[in-house]
Structure 1
Amino acid sequence: MERYYFDLYNSEHCQVDDQGQLFASREGARLEALRILQDIAIDEAPGVERLKITVKLRNAEKVQIFEASLTLDSAWN
Structure 2
Amino acid sequence: MPRFYFDFASNDDVSVDTIGQELENEDMAHKEAVKALAEIAAEEIPRDGELVLTVTVTDAERQTLFTAQMTFRPTI
Normalised by the size of structure 1, how large is the TM-score? 0.90
Q: Which runs of 5+ in 1 are unaligned?
A: none
Offset of residue 74 of structure 1: 1.7
Q: Are positions 1:39 and 2:39 aligned together?
A: yes
Secondary structure in 2 matching 1:62: coil
- 1:72 matched residue in structure 2: 72
More deviation, 67-76/40-49: 40-49
Secondary structure in 2 matching 1:47: coil
Task: List structure 1 runs of 4+ shifted beyond 4 angstroms.
Answer: none
Change in CA separation of 1:20 and 1:48 when aligned onto 2, cut-off 3 Å: farther
- 1:63 matched residue in structure 2: 63
When the two chains are superposed, the root-mean-square deviation of aligned CA atoms in Å is 1.2
Identity among equivalent pairs (%): 33
Secondary structure in 2 matching 1:32: helix
State the distance in 1 between where 2:68 and 2:22 align: 19
Q: Which runs of 5+ in 2 are unaligned?
A: none
Q: Are positions 1:18 and 2:18 aligned together?
A: yes
Q: How many residues align?
A: 76
